Amino acid sequence: MKHVLKAALIAAPLAFAGTAASADTFVRMVSGPAGGSWYPLGAKIMQVLGDEVPGISTSNTSGGGISNVKAVDGGDAEIGWSYAHTSYNGFAGRGKFTKKHENVRHFATLYPATFQVAVRADSPIKTFDDMKAANISPGKAGWTGTAFAESILKAYGFDFAKIKENGGTVHYVSYTESVALMKDGHVDVFMAATSVPQASFIELQHSPGIRFIGLSDDKLKQILNDNPGFITGSIPKSAYEGLSSDIPSLGIVTNMVVSKDLPDETVYQMCKSFWKNHAAFAEVKKVWNRVKVENALNGAAIPVHPGAQKCYDELGVKTGS
């Protein structure tokens, strides 16, 4: 494939100045963990962009919402998956960000993600209050879902440190590792901010069997008030087998950011190809059917890249809420 060949060429030593001058722009994506939706979608997106956009070489690697913003800001990647509120916090230097990351620009708003929390079906854990000494797996450090978990636990009066003090453990691992740990009985609680339904939870439903933990109305209101950018969400009873009712939870809006240093024309061409190939991405994950071009600027709380803005102006996309 063209983008693979390009990547190989770009990695090879460039012996002549003329060759260096004609080298492609390397567009590296940081997406999400194996077992989630971001990684396979990211792989397909970068394959398509690498094949269709002139003058770029592409790659896709795993990452997380917070770390991806840092990677794009710091020049370790050119495009990354995140969440609208995380992108804003990074740009403004708030929350988990200790400094402003002002080199990121909005590329596209995608779809909502829901915070999902599951325990083994035979677990005595019924609510978040019961997790104060549990063995939990909230995601890797630097992932938005992990920060999301901290925000929720804070509303219940404890945090990761307190869990450890009480004799519990916190496993900062990927979705795939979380599934293995829960199957082996080493994890009591698996948490993830991701699309619904999600493959890891489906796998755990089959073995060893799980229950989902929801949030009470008063806690939902408290967390929403304390965390601008969070939205109400739920796990519909139709999403997973065996659910008798919707599970109340929280949500966030998935987005993509790009480096401000990517040329306007490159981002413009990337944007056009990105939306033209919507059907191909939906074949990878059904959640992509929820991605709509008319929502591409919804929740854009950081500056939109000029190349993307030109694309959206042509497509008639207006700034959303």
One digit per residue, the tens of pLDDT, for the chain of length 321 reads 545 444 433 344 433 333 333 468 999 999 998 878 999 999 999 999 999 999 999 999 999 999 999 999 999 999 999 998 899 999 999 888 999 999 999 999 998 889 999 999 999 999 999 999 999 999 998 788 898 899 899 999 999 999 999 999 999 999 999 999 999 999 999 999 988 999 999 999 999 999 999 999 999 999 988 876 688 889 999 999 999 999 999 988 899 999 999 999 999 999 999 999 999 999 999 989 999 999 999 888 899 999 999 999 999 998 754
Give the pLDDT confidence score for residue 17 in this predicted structure.
39
What is the pTM (predicted TM-score) of this model?
0.71
Q: Please say whether the beta carbons of 6 and 24 come within 8 A.
A: yes
Give the pLDDT confidence score for residue 9 in this predicted structure.
36
* Alpha carbons 298 and 301: distance in angstroms, whole number: 9
* Alpha carbons 250 and 267: distance in angstroms, whole number: 32
Q: Which helix (H) or strand (E) is 223 found in, with range?
A: helix 217-226
Q: What are phi and psi of 234, to 5 degrees?
A: -160, 160
* Alpha carbons 273 and 289: distance in angstroms, whole number: 17
Q: Any idea which residue has 């797996």 for tokens?
A: 137
Q: Please say whether the beta carbons of 73 and 103 come within 8 A.
A: yes
User: For 182-238, where are the E strands, in sequence order?
Assistant: 189-194, 210-212, 231-235
Give the pLDDT confidence score for residue 21 in this predicted structure.
39
Give the pLDDT confidence score for residue 12 in this predicted structure.
41
Judged by DSSP in three states, 58 sits in strand
Give the pLDDT confidence score for residue 11 in this predicted structure.
41
Q: Which helix (H) or strand (E) is 41 found in, with range?
A: helix 38-52
User: For 11-121, where are the E strands, in sequence order?
Assistant: 25-30, 56-61, 79-83, 104-120
Which residue, among 184, 168, 146, has the nearest Cα to 33 in the 3D structure?
146
* Alpha carbons 46 and 69: distance in angstroms, whole number: 18
